Structure 1
Amino acid sequence: MTRDVAQAVPEPEAEPVAPDVLDSLLNTPVTRGGAGVAVWRIETATVGDEELEVARQWLDEGERQQASSYVRAELRRAYEIAHAAARLVVGAVVDSPPEKVVWGRHPCPGCGEPHGRPRAEGAGVEFSLSHTPGQVLVAVADAAVGVDVERHPDDPVALAKLLHPRELEEIEAAAHGLLDGGRASVRFTRAWARTEAYLKGIGIGLGRDPHLDYLGTDAAPRRRLGEWTVRDVVVPEGYGAALALLS
C-alpha cells in the first residue's frame, strides 16, 4: 500500500459550505430544508449556564460519563454543547424530542464491530458532529457524512508530522514564509479538518493512518476523493472546518 492511497482533486471554483447558526439550544427553530446535506454551527460562548443545565438533561448516561472524563472545563463544556446540539438537530429532523434520540453505531469498516460512524437509531438520516473549544458543528445528510472543526494550533509544524508527507512539506514551507507569507496554522487546520472529516465519514476515524490520504492544504474549498466530496465549512477566524459527503 503506497502513501498516496487516496489523493484529492481540488475544485477551486466551488463555494464552501455556509452553515446555519444556532443562537441557542432552547427555543430555536431547526429546519433542514430540501438539500441532501445541512450543517449547523453554534458558538459555545453563546450558550448560557442555565440553558446548558437544561440541555444536559437530554444526554444519556454514556454521554454524561464521557463528559465527566474531560479534565479541562472548556473541553467538557464543548462536548456537552455538541451532543445537546446534535440531539436538538437530529431530533428536529426526525420529529423527535432531543432527549428521546437514541444513539448507536454503524459497523466499523475495518473490523465489522459496532464502533463505526455514529447513527441515530430508527432515523432515516446520517449525522456527524464535531467540537473544539469555542465552536460546534453538526451535519445531517441522506448519505454517509463526516464533519470536523479545529482551532488553529500554536505549533502547526510539529502536528503536521501526523499528516501526509506532502501536506507536511506544504505546512513547513508556509512556516518558513515560502507559502502564504507564513500562514502555516491555516494550512495545517485545512488539511487536518479535511482529513478528519473524511475519516469520520468513512467510519474508521484515526483507525486509518492520516499519512495515507492527501487532502491538501490549499485554499480550494472543495475537492473530490474517490466517491467522496470534501468541502470547507465557513467558520470564524482562528478556526478551520470541513465536511465530507459520500456521493
Structure 2
Amino acid sequence: MSNGPQCQLTGNDSAHVWLVSLDLAADRITALRENLSPDEQSRCSRFVIQKVSDRFIAARGQLREILASYLSCAPTEIAFRYGQHGKPLLSHPPQTLLQFNLSHSGEYALVAVTMHKAIGIDIEQLRRGRPLLKLAERFFSARETAELRNLPEQLQEDAFYACWTRKEAYLKAIGTGLATPLNAFDVTLLPGVPPSLAAQRLAPEETGRWQLVDIAVPGGYRGALAACREMKTLLVRRWPLA
C-alpha cells in the first residue's frame, strides 16, 4: 500500500493534471531513484549530463508517486508496458482503468490522469530566437502556417507554442507519435479562438471526438491537454501535495 496521499477521480468525465518540479534536492533525487524499475535506473545511468539524469529520475519517480496515490499501492509496484509507437501504459496493477500521460521540458513536467479515456499532455519551454515561421513551414499544416504568418510578429511566438503543444498533446493521446504527420491535422492557434482539433485529414470522423485544453503553467512555458470525449471536470494542481 502507498504511504503517501490518496487521490481519487470524481468520475469518468474528470481529469487531473499535476505540475511537477524536476529540479530537486539531492536527497529527494536519491529517494526517488529507489522507486524506479531496473530498466529505468539503467536508462538514467546512461545520461552523460548529471542534470539530465536527475530530471529523468524526478519525472519518472514522481510519476510513480502520483499513480500510486490513485491505485493505493507502492510506487515500486507499478509496472509499465509500451504501445506500438512507444506510448507508456500501465501493466501493473492489472485490470486498472486508469489512463495517464507524462510530458517534461526544462525544469517542469506535467502528468495527466483520467479513467477509461485516452489522454495526452504536453509542456514546452519557450526558447527565444527560434526561426518559428521556418519551423511552422516544416511541421505545421498549410492552414496553420498561413494563420501564424498573418499574425503580428509580437503574437507569433505564443501562437506557435499554442499550436505545437496542442498538436503534441493530441499525438500523445492517440499514441501514434510521428507515425501521424504533424501536417495531417489542424488545431486552432489564433488568439481568442478556443483550442480545438479543427481538421483530421487521415480520419475526418475524429474531429468531433477530441477536446483540447490549454493548461496554465509557469512563465516561459506552454502546456496543453487532449482527451477523447468531453471532460466536465479538470483539476490542475502541484505535486507533491502540501
TM over 0.5: yes
Cα deviation for residue 218 of structure 1 reads: 2.3
Q: Within 5 Å, which residues of 2 pair with 1:159-198?
A: 159-160=135-136, 161-174=138-151, 178=152, 181-198=153-170
By how many angstroms is 1:172 displaced? 3.2
When normalised by structure 1's length, the TM-score is 0.76
Q: Does 1:214 align with 2:186?
A: yes
**Aligned CA distance change for structure 1 residues 83 and 222 (closer, same or farther; 3 Å):** same
Alignment-derived partner of residue 119 in structure 1: 89
Q: Which amino acid aligns with 1:232?
A: D
1:1-247 matches, within 5 Å, as 29=5, 31-35=7-11, 36-45=14-23, 47-106=24-83, 108=84, 115-121=85-91, 122=94, 123-142=96-115, 143-154=117-128, 155=130, 156-160=132-136, 161-174=138-151, 178=152, 181-219=153-191, 220-224=193-197, 225-247=207-229
- CA–CA distance in 1 between the matches of 2:53 and 2:66? 20
Deviations along 1:166-197, one digit per CA (max 9) or x if unpaired, are 222333344xxx2xx51322111111111111
Q: Secondary structure at the match of 1:170?
A: helix
Q: List runs of 5+ in structure 2 lacking aligned partners.
A: 198-206, 230-242
Q: Distance in 2 between matches of 1:235 and 1:200?
A: 19
Identify if the C-alpha distance between structure 1 residues 61 and 183 changes in structure 2 by more than 3 Å, giving closer, same or farther. farther
CA distance in 1, matches of 2:215, 2:186: 18
Equivalent residues of 1:43, 1:135 under 8 A apart: yes
CA shift, 1:37, in A, is 1.2
CA deviation profile, 1:79-124 (whole Å, cap 9, x unmatched): 2222112111111111111111000124x3xxxxxx4532111122
What secondary structure is seen at the aligned counterpart in 2 of 1:158? helix
Instruction: Determine which structure has the larger strand proportion and give its number.
Output: 2
* Percent sequence identity over aligned pairs: 26
Q: Secondary structure at the match of 2:72?
A: coil
Greater CA deviation, 196-205 or 224-233? 224-233
| Distance 1:157-1:63 versus aligned 2 partners, 3 A rule | farther
Gaps of 5+ in 1: 1-26, 109-114
Cα contact 2:187–2:195 (8 A) shared by 1: no
Secondary structure, aligned partner of 1:236: coil
Count of aligned pairs between the two proteins: 209
Give me the whole-angstrom Cα distance separating, in 2, the residues matched to 1:184 and 1:70.
Answer: 34
Secondary structure (helix, strand or coil) at the match of 1:59 reads: coil
> 1:153 touches 1:185 (CA, 8 Å); kept in 2?
no
